[in-house]
């Protein structure tokens, strides 16, 4: 049997037309075992995505593979059960495939950029995420009126293609003060705290211990022991940031309300309130604060041990060697 | 019959003193038909707001007007039903009137500034919006304790005069990643995406397609194909922004963590991290980046094709002709 | 009887191992009366924290002290009842003690810094705050799957050591547009409005009337009639702000997307978009805008009547006497 990218058994929601709105995969698998693949492939018969019948679930439950236990449990499900088997790491073609890929990321089974997500915006439907679960926005109006008449209350918390991560998976060793700001598909390393002002988009996240009070755009990874200050910004490639994939190395600090439009190496600091874009002209200073030369920030992309600041007397953006590695507050960061 | 501003049938919540806390209007009408007005006026007998009796609802249900179908449905309501008929576009005087006006905006039946909202802060009561619906804050404490004792859990999500829009209406063709940040009374054009960091106050919003990751203050409108970057700010007149009503034209981009205190024309860009206030002195540059003259930003209010940036070597805020019209990422913006 | 710091009766949640996850104290007491202390001490027998038996609750209910009424009510609780009696104002040692202290703050019974919170991060467990209440994150996965199979939906809103305040107490006279951004332990004075972009950490808050659209870090107090503009930042000592405790005096305004790393006196203004850190070099100007001298911002800590701005032509951060005291919009700020 050849290598397979991933597989999963999930419980999903269909709209009134029988279309998938979303799928919850309690235990997705990346690079699954051969026997698991064979067991599932026998049932799917060449398909990558299929809603399972009672009989198919029974077969899986009796398969002796590492899907047997979950399949046994799911026999008790009152909601539709779906299986996905991805041979290739290819662009997702169905809603369950897209959801499986997002789960792989949030379960830390693949790193950001480790599973192909091309065209995912076109695959995912817009969904109203409510206190009663996922509802097709086209069907919401009637449901809201019916509920009101009965004296019930439906909270509509999100109307989007991506749900919040924690309703699907809460990775070990993280704190997320306000979960509405972390999308399914985010990758949060153990030891990460995302504060109320933090945000993590899908296909981005943190390697390990870090304090995130700023915004991690899609595709952006933040290295170990780095801090994003309150309200700071990392420029996303989806938002016109160009082709350069932004990343933040280890032991970096982007100050509150600051931002970066270039990838940062290790031990870099961007001063609070300063936004360094790729086109920012920067004055390089030596140890004695004398000008060495002037460069565009993009020429400093990925370099380590840099401190970016705006000289508060001249207004010039300056860059010098960073002597203050960020010292994380031990008590605060203890998960 | 003379022209009428609006009317609506709604389901509302009363506190223990019989005062309205809020009203949900499933199908409000602006500029209603004469026969609809006459049918409703006959029941209200000169009042603009009234809680309807069973008999009055029956009369409406049998009226043959375009309120008949909704009235028929509402006969099954276990919660109080209210009718509002607004002849003039005048300042709201009752809670149901204020809610009707906010619904008109969010249903796109009137544009921001199209319905008079003077004094609305004085009319609207402060309400605790909870997982069990709207509760008078004065009555909340006991309810919370009773629930706790029963092992139940009440989430108090908002304590405010304005509720979140999506619990009342989700306009077609929008995505709102985190709905708590869009107030009832916001106007969102079809094709708008409000990301997690976006915010839209009442009586403000977007004309059509746009990507909102920044804050739209009360009264501010954003034109078609414009982007507000993450965490950017539009100054509100309520917050000391003075008398100048801020607006953003078509194809504009306000960069992440930037802001504007002046109205922008079309195809304007404000660089990431730059806040242009009305009093900011700006150096106007020609095509060869030579200084033409110095003006206050307020003198550039409403002008098109401007690029605002802070020179990263001199610290001066500069303005030149904008050659880079914002090109929205097609995949990302596809609703 | 000697002076006691505080006491309270609460209802709490235990995980499957019998460990406290959180406690709700409906009516905590600071500096309790002698007879109340004696009544409770007799039951606790030297302990500071204890889960109460039915018999102990009966004794309290019959005690004739001002705990009798609440104790009578709590006899009907289906969830565990806990009592805490704090003789000293010492570092919290148990979960109920820590929760009592956070309640004292949010009930305005002590001011920020008025109750010792040393080591609270170590005492408080990480909790998943869900639509079904507090759940141990270790126990969440199974609960989520079980719910899904039954067609139910659990929203996981927060995974953190601190819950949101409003699920425990909604102080009189406040509006909080989006409650997920105010932690239990925040102190909000009467007349405070916290807008959607506002944030208040524990052990910080507002003295009285103010409009908070920015972030109040742990330990930071904001004086009467001061405004924090949208997205503005106050630097926290937990986040590397050093030893200087930040505060904001009366009638101050920090503009949108601005920030302060020094304590501000009264009637100070920080311009929109400007971040003043302790190390910022500032040009002091006289009445005629002539330079007087250059200082570090930390030398201006706590001084009143200052206006901080960045000269938009030279890029220099300047400071002059503030002539524009913030005039709050009366309608907007009326709670």
Nearest-neighbour CA in chain A from C51: distance (Å): 27
HSE (side-chain half, CA atoms, 13 Å) at A138: 8
Q: What is the mean pLDDT of residues C224-250?
A: 85
Between these two residues, A109 and C240, which has the higher pLDDT value? A109
What DSSP letter does each residue of C78-139 carry, written as one string?
Answer: SS-EEEEEESS-----SHHHHHHHHHHHHTTSS-TTSS--TTHHHHSPPEEEETTEEE-HHH
Instruction: Give the DSSP H/E element, type plus range, for residue C70.
Output: helix C68-74
Nearest to B233 among C172, C180, C257 (CB): C257
Query: φ, ψ for residue B200 (rounded to 5)?
Result: -135, 120
Distance from C-alpha of C318 to C-alpha of A79, rounded to nearest angstrom: 64
Q: End-to-end CA distance of chain A, in Å?
A: 41
Q: What is the mean pLDDT of residues B108-135?
A: 97
Q: Which residues of A are catalytic?
A: 213
Strands B259-260 and B275-276, sheet pairing: parallel
**How buried is residue A46: exposed, middle or buried, by Cβ count under 10 Å (0-12/13-18/19+)?**
exposed
Share of chain C above pLDDT 90, in %: 90
Whole-angstrom CA distances from A106 to A12, A111, A184, C122 are 18, 9, 6, 27
Distance from C-alpha of B117 to C-alpha of B109, rounded to nearest angstrom: 15
Q: End-to-end CA distance of chain B, in Å?
A: 41
Q: What is the mean pLDDT of residues C240-253?
A: 83
Distance from C-alpha of C243 to C-alpha of C86, rounded to nearest angstrom: 28
Cβ neighbours of residue A147 under 8 Å, at least 6 residues apart?
A132, A153, A154
Nearest to B312 among A144, A156, A282 (CB): A282
Q: What is the mean pLDDT of residues C210-217?
A: 98
User: 3-state class of B137 per DSSP?
Assistant: helix
Whole-angstrom CA distances from C261 to B195, B211, C232, C242, C250 are 29, 32, 11, 9, 17
Q: What is the mean pLDDT of residues C252-264?
A: 97
pLDDT in tens, C301-323: 999 999 999 999 999 999 998 76
pLDDT at B106 over 50: yes
pLDDT at C290 over 70: yes
pTM for the model: 0.95
Nearest-neighbour CA in chain B from C57: distance (Å): 14
Nearest to C160 among A131, A176, A255 (CB): A176
pLDDT of residue A334: 54
pLDDT in tens, B69-94: 999 999 999 999 999 999 999 999 99
Structure token pair of residue C186: 């925040």
| Chain B residue numbers touching A235 (CB-CB < 8 A) | 256, 272
pLDDT per residue, tens digit, chain A (335 aa), is: 578 999 999 999 999 999 999 999 999 999 999 999 999 999 999 999 999 999 999 999 999 999 999 999 999 999 999 999 999 999 999 999 999 999 999 999 999 999 999 999 999 999 999 999 999 999 999 999 999 999 999 999 999 999 999 999 999 999 999 999 999 999 999 999 999 999 999 999 999 999 999 999 999 999 999 999 999 999 986 544 457 889 999 999 999 999 999 999 999 999 999 999 999 999 999 888 999 999 999 999 999 999 999 999 999 999 998 665 444 444 445 55
pLDDT of residue B329: 44
Q: What is the mean pLDDT of residues B203-218?
A: 97
Bridge partners, B6 (sequence order):
B30, B86
Share of chain C above pLDDT 70, in %: 93
Residue A210 in contact with residue A189, Cβ under 8 Å? yes
Looking at chain B, which subunits does it touch, using at least 3 CB pairs closer than 8 Å as the criterion? A, C
DSSP state of C40: H
Residue of C nearest to B179 (CA): C178
Nearest-neighbour CA in chain C from B196: distance (Å): 11
Share of chain B above pLDDT 90, in %: 90
Cβ neighbours of residue A47 under 8 Å, at least 6 residues apart?
A85
Average pLDDT, chain B: 94
> Which is it for the CA torsion C72, C74, C76, C82, positive or negative?
negative
Structural domains in chain A, sorted by start: 6-125 (3.30.70.2010), 128-160 (3.30.60), 165-333 (2.160.10.10)
| Chain A residue numbers touching B11 (CB-CB < 8 A) | 148-149
Average pLDDT, chain C: 94
Is B156 in Cβ contact with C178 (below 8 Å)?
no
| Chain B residue numbers touching A151 (CB-CB < 8 A) | 78-79, 133
Average pLDDT, chain A: 94
pLDDT at C87 over 80: yes
What DSSP letter does each residue of A135-160 carry, written as one string?
Answer: E-HHHHHHHHHHHHHTT----EEEEE
Nearest-neighbour CA in chain B from C1: distance (Å): 31
pLDDT tier at C3 (50, 70, 90 boundaries)? confident
| Chain C residue numbers touching A327 (CB-CB < 8 A) | 240
pLDDT in tens, B28-68: 999 999 999 999 999 999 999 999 999 999 999 999 999 99
pLDDT of residue B306: 96
pLDDT at C1 over 80: no
**Order of strands, edge to edge, in the sheet holding A275-276?**
A199-200, A215-216, A233-234, A259-260, A275-276
Strands C269-270 and A259-260, sheet pairing: unpaired
Residue of B nearest to A146 (CA): B77
Cβ neighbours of residue B279 under 8 Å, at least 6 residues apart?
B261, B296, B297, B298
pLDDT at C240 over 80: no
pLDDT of residue A236: 80
Mutate to test the interface with C, among B134, B145, B162, B197 (most CBs of C within 10 A): B145
Catalytic status, residue B318:
no
Q: What is the mean pLDDT of residues B16-26?
A: 98
């Amino acid at each position: 049997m050849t290598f397979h990218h991933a597989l999963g058994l999930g419980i999903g929601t269909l709209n009134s037309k029988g279309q998938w709105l979303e799928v919850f995969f309690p235990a997705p698998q990346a690079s699954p075992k051969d026997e698991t693949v064979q067991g599932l492939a026998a049932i799917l018969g060449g398909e990558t995505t299929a809603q399972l019948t009672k009989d198919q679930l029974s077969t899986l439950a009796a398969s002796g593979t590492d899907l047997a236990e979950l399949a046994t449990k799911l026999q008790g499900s009152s909601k539709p059960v779906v299986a996905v088997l991805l041979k290739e790491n290819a662009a997702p073609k169905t809603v369950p495939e897209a959801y499986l890929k997002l789960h792989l990321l949030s379960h830390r089974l693949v790193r950001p950029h480790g599973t192909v997500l091309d065209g995912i915006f076109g695959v995912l439907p817009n969904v109203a995420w409510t206190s009663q679960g996922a509802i097709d926005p086209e069907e919401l109006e009637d449901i809201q009126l019916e509920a009101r008449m009965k004296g019930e209350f439906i909270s509509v918390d999100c109307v989007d293609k991506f749900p919040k991560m924690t309703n699907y998976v809460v990775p070990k060793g993280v704190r997320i003060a306000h979960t509405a700001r972390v999308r399914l598909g985010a990758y949060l390393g153990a030891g990460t705290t995302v504060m109320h002002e933090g945000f993590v988009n899908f296909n981005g996240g943190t390697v390990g211990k870090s304090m995130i009070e700023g915004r991690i755009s899609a595709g952006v990874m933040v290295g170990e022991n780095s801090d994003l200050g309150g309200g700071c910004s990392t420029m996303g490639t989806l938002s016109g940031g160009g082709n350069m994939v932004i990343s933040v190395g280890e032991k970096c600090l982007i100050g509150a309300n600051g931002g970066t439009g270039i990838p940062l190496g290790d031990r870099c600091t961007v001063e609070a309130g300063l936004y360094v874009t790729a086109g920012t002209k920067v004055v390089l200073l030596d140890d004695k604060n004398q000008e060495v030369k002037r460069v565009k920030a993009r020429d400093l992309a990925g370099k380590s041990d840099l401190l970016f600041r705006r000289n508060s007397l001249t207004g010039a953006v300056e860059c010098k060697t960073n002597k203050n590695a960020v010292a994380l507050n031990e008590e605060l960061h203890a998960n």
